[in-house]
């Protein structure tokens, strides 16, 4: 499928067969915040930018103009023409960066379940509906503070190992700290560079460059480690109880961020060979968990994403998987597999030999380490992180595309990424501030996670566990009032 055709049918995947960047252009990656971080401004900007494409699609649907080819005829009108199969299933060999034999073995049962869900006109529904008080969940200060504490003392995702390859450093902002990451002969390191003495401009949330230009003197090292090509950092070791700051305890935490089954799958994707190509922040006036919630089910595609994902994805069909903590079986990480429109053709039996590359048709969307949405694509990785800000009603989201190779044409990377931002800025994130305001104004407000939202049900049990972990940490490190202070009042 050409880039133009991919753009026409929308979706997350924006990389085509672009030429590779030369050494000078490579230094300009990743492209940081090519668009505004203000949600309202971004919404206006993207509505304007996407208007011609939407108008064109609308005209096809209304029969005012002919569909340009059999692919568009199927996607927008549901009609199957003679060239459809050839156009919908172009050669798509798996990327060299992944262990595709392993990926295929792990994802074939998922693929079969997805196809069966389509054929049976159903979706994964393992849980009963889950009712929660929305005000307590999204607006309560005590819950928020407990969650923040837990996020500070657990390993969270910083970047992929590809971001610090070839003697480059990568600095990002995690839990309000500037965290500088690099690799030397002894391994991977994370430093707290919030004061900015290492060199990079700390006024920006992100920085990158050559390790040789850094001055690491006096910087405090933060616990970090690599799992499956992903760099993980514990940002606030100073908030750990002494017994939890011991090496053995930290190792135990790191080993269990992903369970063994998930480690096998994430390793197979070859994530560590990717590095960020483009990153965009969007500030959202809503609770951080609500932004994570937007990646939780596929029935909303039909209405909320009526002009983006509805036509190019299979609506209200998903395969849900959970990856519980190996130690106690408690909620951990989870995955929602989404299907591109080609999954419907595969379920119809239009390609008897089956797909060449499963990842060209399914998107295994993970929520990892509490605040990171992550999914492998045929030629890269998409990542969205959601960071709590100063109160329960504010968060900062970052959206990033990563790739094993850096395209020569940066403008095309930015414009392609704009198509992804349409989904968030003009649809998903756009409605969150209104939801937050409703929940804030109504203490009795309840929210229900339905049968076809298993990822949300699972995740909100995980978030409840997170808050409880935070409360335990706060009790462990609570200072007893000093006797001197008490004495002075007597
Ligand atoms: Fe959505």
CA 11 to ligand 1 center in whole angstroms: 11
Shared domain for 121 and 206, answered yes or no, is no
Q: Do you find a cis peptide bond into 30, omega within 30 degrees of 0?
A: yes
pLDDT digits (tens, 9 = 90+) for 281-298: 999 999 999 999 998 888
Alpha-carbon distance of 203 to 83, in angstroms, equals 53
Last residue of a domain, one of 228, 256, 284: 256
Shared domain for 444 and 313, answered yes or no, is yes
For residue 176, give its domain range. Answer: 155-256
Shared domain for 57 and 35, answered yes or no, is yes
CA 221 to ligand 1 center in whole angstroms: 38
Alpha-carbon distance of 172 to 160, in angstroms, equals 12
Model confidence band, residue 199 (pLDDT cutoffs 50, 70, 90): confident
According to DSSP, residue 313 is labeled B
Shared domain for 325 and 449, answered yes or no, is yes
Count of the separate structural domains present in the chain: 2
Shared domain for 93 and 204, answered yes or no, is no
CA 386 to ligand 1 center in whole angstroms: 15
* Range with the poorest average pLDDT among 6-15, 286-295, 335-344: 6-15
Q: Are strands 333-339 and 362-368 parallel, antiparallel or unpaired?
A: antiparallel
CA 295 to ligand 1 center in whole angstroms: 6
According to DSSP, residue 425 is labeled I
Shared domain for 81 and 37, answered yes or no, is yes
Residue 221 lies in a domain: yes
Shared domain for 382 and 275, answered yes or no, is yes
Shared domain for 78 and 204, answered yes or no, is no
Burial 353-390 (b: 16+ CB within 10 A, else e): eebebbbbbbbbbbbbbbbbbbbbbbbbbbbbbbbbee
CA 301 to ligand 1 center in whole angstroms: 6
Residue 23 lies in a domain: no
pLDDT digits (tens, 9 = 90+) for 402-457: 999 899 999 999 999 998 999 988 888 999 999 999 999 999 999 999 999 999 99
Burial class (CB in 10 A: 0-12, 13-18, 19+), 192: buried
Shared domain for 338 and 227, answered yes or no, is no
Contacts with 251 (C-beta within 8 Å, 6 or more apart), sequence order: none
Residue 423 lies in a domain: yes
CATH of the domain at 238: 2.102.10
Residue 12 lies in a domain: no
According to DSSP, residue 83 is labeled T
Shared domain for 123 and 161, answered yes or no, is no
CA 291 to ligand 1 center in whole angstroms: 10
Model confidence band, residue 239 (pLDDT cutoffs 50, 70, 90): very high
Q: Please check the confidence at residue 324 and state whether its pLDDT lies above 80.
A: yes
Last residue of a domain, one of 235, 256, 277: 256
Residue 336 lies in a domain: yes
Mean of pLDDT values over 183-194: 96
CATH of the domain at 376: 3.90.380.10
Residue 17 lies in a domain: no
The residues facing 375 across adjacent strands are 382
Q: Please check the confidence at residue 266 and state whether its pLDDT lies above 60.
A: yes
Contacts with 325 (C-beta within 8 Å, 6 or more apart), sequence order: 256, 259, 331, 332
Q: Please check the confidence at residue 2 and state whether its pLDDT lies above 70.
A: no
CA 223 to ligand 1 center in whole angstroms: 34
pLDDT digits (tens, 9 = 90+) for 211-238: 999 999 999 999 999 999 999 999 999 9
Shared domain for 337 and 206, answered yes or no, is no
Shared domain for 361 and 407, answered yes or no, is yes
Alpha-carbon distance of 224 to 256, in angstroms, equals 13
Model confidence band, residue 18 (pLDDT cutoffs 50, 70, 90): low
CA 309 to ligand 1 center in whole angstroms: 8
Residue 372 lies in a domain: yes
Residue 479 lies in a domain: no
């Amino acid at each position: 499928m050409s880039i133009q055709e991919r753009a026409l049918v929308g979706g997350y995947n924006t990389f085509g067969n672009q030429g590779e960047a030369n050494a000078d252009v490579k230094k300009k990656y990743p492209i940081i915040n090519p668009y505004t971080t203000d949600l309202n401004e971004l919404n206006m900007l993207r509505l304007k930018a996407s208007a011609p494409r939407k108008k064109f699609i609308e005209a096809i649907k209304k029969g005012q103009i002919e569909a340009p080819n059999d692919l568009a005829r199927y996607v927008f009108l549901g009609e199957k023409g003679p060239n459809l199969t050839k156009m919908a299933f172009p050669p798509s060999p798996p990327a060299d960066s992944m262990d595709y034999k392993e990926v295929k073995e792990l994802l074939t049962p998922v693929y079969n379940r997805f196809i069966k869900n389509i054929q049976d006109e159903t979706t994964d529904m393992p849980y009963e509906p889950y009712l929660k008080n929305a005000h307590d969940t999204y607006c309560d200060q005590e819950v928020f503070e407990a969650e923040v504490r837990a996020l500070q003392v657990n390993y969270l995702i910083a970047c992929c190992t590809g971001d610090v390859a070839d003697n480059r450093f990568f600095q990002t902002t995690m839990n309000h700290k500037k965290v500088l990451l690099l690799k030397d002969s002894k391994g991977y390191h994370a430093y707290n560079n919030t004061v900015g003495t290492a060199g990079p401009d700390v006024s920006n949330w992100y920085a990158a460059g050559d390790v040789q230009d850094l001055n690491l003197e006096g910087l405090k090292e933060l616990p970090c480690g690599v799992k499956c090509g992903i760099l993980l950092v514990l940002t606030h070791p100073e908030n750990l109880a002494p017994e939890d700051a011991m090496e053995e305890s930290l190792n135990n935490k790191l080993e269990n961020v992903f369970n063994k089954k998930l480690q096998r799958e994430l390793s197979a994707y070859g994530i560590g060979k990717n590095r960020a190509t483009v990153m965009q922040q969007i500030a959202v006036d809503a609770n951080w968990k609500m932004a994570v919630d937007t990646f939780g089910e596929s029935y909303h595609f039909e209405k909320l994403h009526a002009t983006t994902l509805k036509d190019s994805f299979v609506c209200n069909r998903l395969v849900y998987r959970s990856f519980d903590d190996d130690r106690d079986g408690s909620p951990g990480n989870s995955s929602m597999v989404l299907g591109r429109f080609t999954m419907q053709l595969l379920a119809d039996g239009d390609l008897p030999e089956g797909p060449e590359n499963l990842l060209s048709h399914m998107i295994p969307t993970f929520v990892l380490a509490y605040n990171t949405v992550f999914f492998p694509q045929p030629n890269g990785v998409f990542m969205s992180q959601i960071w709590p800000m100063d109160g329960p009603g504010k968060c900062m989201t970052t959206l990033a595309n990563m790739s094993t190779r850096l395209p020569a044409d940066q403008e095309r990377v930015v414009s392609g990424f704009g198509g992804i931002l349409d989904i968030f800025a003009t649809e998903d994130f756009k409605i969150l501030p209104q939801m937050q305001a409703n929940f804030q104004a109504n203490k009795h407000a309840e929210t229900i996670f339905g049968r076809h939202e298993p990822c949300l049900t699972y995740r909100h049990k995980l978030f409840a566990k997170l808050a409880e972990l935070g409360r335990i940490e706060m009790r462990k490190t609570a200072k007893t009032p000093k006797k001197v202070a008490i004495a002075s009042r007597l």
